[in-house]
Structure 1
Amino acid sequence: MFLDFAGRTFTYRQTKDRAVEMARGLRALGVRAGDRVVTQLRNSEDVIFAWFGANLLGAVWVPINTAYRGEFLRHQIVDAGAEVVICEAEYADALLNVALPSVRAILVRGAEAPCPDDRVHSLEAYRITEGDSLEHATTPSDLTCLLYTSGTTGPSKGCMISTNYLCNMGYLSNLAVPPLPNERTWTCSPMFHLSALGGIAATLLNQGSISIAEQFSVSKFWSEIERSGATTALLISPTFHWLADAEDTPEMLRCFGQLRTVIGSVGPEMEHVWRSRFGVQYMNRCAYGQTEGVWLTLTPADATDVPPNSVGRICEDFDVRIVDDNDVQLPDGQRGEIVFRPKRPNIMFAGYWNRPEDTIKVWRNMWMHTGDIGYIENGYLFFVDRKKDYLRSRGENISSFEIERTYQQHPSISAAAVYSVAEGVEEGEIKVSVVLCEGATLSCEELCTWSIENLPYFAVPRYFEIRDELIRTPTGKIQKYLLRAEGVTETTWDRVAQGINVRRT
């Protein structure tokens, strides 16, 4: 077996056959080598079939976050220049509500075409079971997908990911935790996240199997682990705490020691909890990378000499340095920007899609500039802080730029600033401060309701504030560091305090 989706299993041969069926359907729609195929799908077997099917044609797969709508959605599809989109039935209306001039076909999964738009078709009609086998000779440099960044300093950019990039990512993951025979991995990571794709690559390389859940559930986690027989789990940071805080269940007790390895970012205290309470042997928590290149650090899961607070030992596949603002290398222990470059071809991103000027900005003096601050000691990398203006909420990296652009579409808002304020939690909480148009009236509660309707669930701020003006420089730029320093003030409206919680729909 290769794939398991809630008990729907597929062997390696069956997976290839389904991918070929999908490829024939895409070809019937005119998809050719180099074209981009967008998917906006929940975790399911069809995500894999669409990905592999597009690549069988030499086309490039573009997975998009299922929570995206409006400008978030439009920007990535238009930027990719995609002509075909595959989506869940309930997402079709959101696609049709934005201008997508390049899109000529929308394949809807799970239902018949929901509207008379002649671009919309049922996905089932394009699973073509008869025809040639579509063997495609892939080279290491061929693009397998575009993965869009979170757009923390501007519009999100498509990272060009090659076949060899993902293969190397899987290889390094297996190097850190050598797989057992018949290893089975469990993950709920969305298939538009790099971590999930790395899990697929690692599984393919070790000829194992992977069980993929549609979404995470505390109440169902241990029953899923028991049902699937998983020996490795790939999780995001918040889930470690949610499971540790949950009460014992019969399924949890029966699964003690079943999970040999858990991969994710946790601190030493949480690692101890998982080892002692759940019987986990290896916690692969020391790693550093970004969509542009992974893994820059690699630490064997059974290592016992890892310095506290480090993000792991620098991987032999990459040169990693710390430099000052003039790109001069700094000595061990001194803080500066983390830069890197590959020692082998096609193991990092191939640049930003259709944005050579942005690629040049980060690829200076033959080094990739991460925008992160850190230092190196005895071959170990230590992460200090991010230079980029970014947000993180519920395990998602979020573009403040794109959220602000959404707020600026509100007819009553003349200016908006979105930023994170610390509230004693690892990721902080999102706050939005807005200035209203002259003569406009709008309450924070009304703005909250509008936000829920127009933003992905994980991007809805907790805190809202209506101000007379935003703090700006003499040249008119918003000084977010001063807004962050203000934090939660007496005039800040707290969504949670008002009993309004936002969940995935």
Structure 2
Amino acid sequence: MKVALTVNDFLRRAELLYPDRVAVVDEPDQPAESWGEITYGEMARRARAMAAGLDELGIAQGERVAMVSHNSARLLTALFGVSGSGRILVPINFRLVAEEVKYIVEHSGARVLLIDPELADAMADVECEMKWTIGAESDAVLMKFDTEPQPWDADEDATATINYTSGTTARPKGVQLTHRNIWLNATVFGWHMTVSDRDVYLHTLPQFHCNGWGMLYAVTGMGAEHVIIRKIDGTEILRRVEEHGVTLMCGAPAVLNMILDAAAEWDGPIPGRDRVRIVCAGAPPPTKTIERCMTELGWEFVQIYGLTETTPLLTMNRMRPEWDELPVGEQAVRLNKAGAPVVGCTMDVSQSGEIMARGNMIMEGYWEQPDQTAAAIYDGFFHTGDGGTIDEANYVTIADRKKDVIISGGENVSSIEVEDAIFQHPDITEVAVIGIPDEKWGELVTALVVTVEGSDLTEADVIAWTKQKLAGYKCPKKVEFRSELARTATGKLQKFKLRAPFWEGQEKQVN
């Protein structure tokens, strides 16, 4: 017997076993009316109501519904109500500016667009066939409790979500994740992290970001409690860990740094000691940061590696019994590696030193970009674009990026995209954007620019100009003016030469 694997399996089990258990504690402080505390029975009811609402709007199975939202119970429920009814959810990064959102809406062909109230004014010019502000307005249209949704002939190979990633080109690519991709990623992730119905999961990771790395599905399937946090703040994270008994969270190293900074000012014992597991990805944090997590917080540190294209889990590095007797500093050194392949994943290194992966977590492809798909998936492997090594213990270490991607605060930033925005300034004749080491952000987006003769352009001017065109996290935090930029004989930028002075003394060319 073969039964289709779909996202519905997770919420269906939670409703069946834990209908009266609190499923979600929604963010109380948000511009849309909070859903407060809802049970798994109520969450499932609202997911079905959302599906019925899409039926009434005439949104066919396979059509796209886009949502630009901070973390919320509504977005969490949409991952089941939209995808689970055979439609495709397009969760969009809330940090993007209107032009970027407009491109994604048009490229995905979304017929419905839901906008966070905080972003309504900024997104006023983004057009879509059906567009509503998230909250009472969208609830009135989408939530139809008086009718059962149309049945969906479940297909595990159907696309469940399209998640747009900056990648390495000026335009983002839409990663098609199937129900099968999502199901297997979630179950493997949950298995490796020993998720159970005793867990309390704090959403410190953006839900739009590869569907919260898929952890939110695993948490749902086990009937564990979700605690939604809308704006990331170290002190607020510690407060909620204390208030709700949080046991698990995921985030970029920048989030861990915020928590460590807040812990230094915290009055009293650090909440969650010997209880919280924090999963980090996006860039390997410094060994010192890992050690501080283990000693100052008393939390378990876990590192994973993956990409949106891999749903995302490829590797995991979690404490092993063999390391228990090692000094904490040595434990931190071992945890600094990306980790070993998870169950169901095979990894290798190409002749050029590129990390490759194969398994059921690899995307279906890039939405309507077959050439880009073929360039990433060939010879039986997905080619990550990251350079690295695999040691004799089968642990992966990421050493450099073969693509021009900067990872700042856990977010991918395309240097080409930033260069294109900066180069539109009339005073700039050349520009190169690189990532340089930064303790807080991992890598700092840095622009090296050459201006026209006589220009009085300042660093602040360049940053302000870029902020008009791109999301804030993509904009340079540092600008240096040069008389010329290193190029090859054919005119190509030699970024390795431009990066070299900033990375001198660093063992790895990522931070």
Q: Using a 3 Å threshold, how does the CA distance of structure 1 residues 486 and 228 change in structure 2: closer, same or farther?
A: same
Code of the residue aligned with 2:341 in structure 1: it is: I
**In the TM superposition, what is the alpha-carbon distance from 1:415 to its structure 2 partner?**
4.6
2:114 aligned residue:
86
Cα deviation 1:451-473 (Å, max 9, x = unaligned): 33433221221222455654443
Question: Matched residue of 1:94: which SS?
Answer: coil
Give yes or no for the alignment of 1:274 onto 2:290: no
Aligned to 2:349: 322
| 1:143-169: CA deviation from partner (whole Å, max 9, x where unpaired) | 110111222244221111111222222
Q: Secondary structure at the match of 1:2?
A: strand
Match of 1:332 in 2: none
Does 1:371 pair with 2:385?
yes
Flag the 1:431–1:380 CA change in 2: closer, same or farther, 3 A: closer
Counterpart of 1:2 in structure 2 is: 23
Partner of 2:365: helix, strand, or coil? Answer: coil
Q: Is contact 1:170–1:205 with CA below 8 Å preserved after alignment?
A: no
1:382 and 2:397 are equivalent in the alignment: yes
Match of 1:311 among 338, 356, 362: 338
CA separation of 1:470/1:105 partners in 2, compared to 1, >3 Å: closer, same or farther? farther
TM-aligned CA deviation for residue 111 of structure 1: 7.2
**1:258 positional shift:** 6.2
Question: 2-side partners of 1:107 and 1:249: how far apart?
Answer: 41
CA–CA separation in structure 1 for the residues paired with 2:211 and 2:86: 23
State the identity as a percent: 27
Q: Is the 8 A contact 1:244 1:274 kept in 2?
A: yes
Shift of 1:59: 1.1
Q: Once the two structures are superposed, what CA deviation does each residue of 1:434-467 show, in whole Å capped at 9, x if it has no partner?
A: 4557897644333332333433221221222455
Which of 219, 232, 243 aligns to 2:248? It is: 232
Q: What's 1:284 paired with?
A: 302
Residues of 2 paired with 1:398 and 1:61: CA distance?
23
Matched ranges for 1:336-375 at <5 A = 336-342=353-359, 346-375=360-389
The amino acid across from 2:345 in the alignment is F
2:493 and 2:264 mapped to 1: Cα distance?
Answer: 48
Unaligned runs of 5+ residues in structure 2 are 1-21, 29-35, 324-330, 504-511
| 1:396 has 2:414 as partner | no
- The within-5 A match list for 1:159-308 is 159-194=175-210, 196-247=212-263, 253=269, 255-257=271-273, 259-265=275-281, 266=285, 268-280=287-299, 282-285=300-303, 287-293=304-310, 294-305=312-323, 308=334
Measured after TM superposition, the shift of residue 30 of structure 1 is 2.6
- Distance, in Å, in 1 between the alignment partners of 2:139 and 2:426 is 38
CA separation in 1, counterparts of 2:419 and 2:409?
19
For the structure 1 residues 140 and 423, does the alpha-carbon distance in structure 2 shift closer, same or farther, using more than 3 Å as the test?
Answer: closer
- 1:66 maps to 94
Does structure 2 conserve the Cα–Cα contact (< 8 Å) formed by 1:38 and 1:77? Answer: yes
State whether residues 373 and 384 of structure 1, in contact with CA within 8 Å, keep that contact through their aligned partners in structure 2.
yes
Would the aligned equivalents of 1:89 and 1:108 in 2 still touch at CA under 8 Å? yes
Q: Distance in 2 between matches of 1:250 and 1:368?
A: 44
Please give the alpha-carbon distance, in whole angstroms, between the structure 1 residues aligned to 2:272 and 2:75. Answer: 32
Partner of 2:445: 430
1:29 maps to which of 39, 57, 60: 57
Distance in 1 (alpha carbons) for counterparts of 2:216 and 2:439 = 35
Instruction: Report which structure shows greater RCO (CA 8 Å, sep ≥6).
Output: 2
SS of the equivalent of 1:253 reads coil
Q: Which residue of 1 aligns with 2:420?
A: 405
What SS is found at the alignment partner of 2:25? strand
Give deviations 1:305-348, integer Å, cap 9, x for gaps.
488343222234022112204xxxxxxxxxx2221212xxx432
Q: Which residue among 394, 400, 421 is the counterpart of 2:436?
A: 421
Report the count of equivalent residues: 461
Aligned to 2:123, what secondary structure does the other structure show? Answer: helix
Contact 1:37-1:60 within 8 A present in 2 as well: yes
Give me the TM-score of the superposition, normalised by structure 2. 0.81
- 2:491 corresponds in structure 1 to 476
Q: Is 1:16 equivalent to 2:50 in the alignment?
A: no
- Whether the aligned pair in 2 keeps the contact of 1:108 and 1:123 (CA below 8 Å) is no
Q: CA contact under 8 A between 2:66 and 2:91: conserved in structure 1?
A: yes
**Cα distance change of structure 1 residues 54 and 409 upon mapping to structure 2, 3 Å threshold:** farther
Cα contact 1:184–1:209 (8 A) shared by 2: yes
**Is the alpha carbon distance of 1:437 and 1:14 closer, same or farther for their aligned partners in structure 2, counting shifts above 3 Å?**
farther
Distance 2:139 2:57 in 1: 12
What's the CA shift for 1:15? 1.2
Counterpart-to-counterpart distance in 1, 2:79 and 2:262: 36
Equivalent residue, structure 2, for 1:457: 472
The CA deviation at 1:225 is 1.0
Distance 1:93 1:412, change over 3 A: farther
Alpha-carbon separation, structure 1, partners of 2:136 and 2:193 = 41
Q: Distance in 2 between matches of 1:250 and 1:70?
A: 38
SS state of the match for residue 168, structure 2?
A: coil
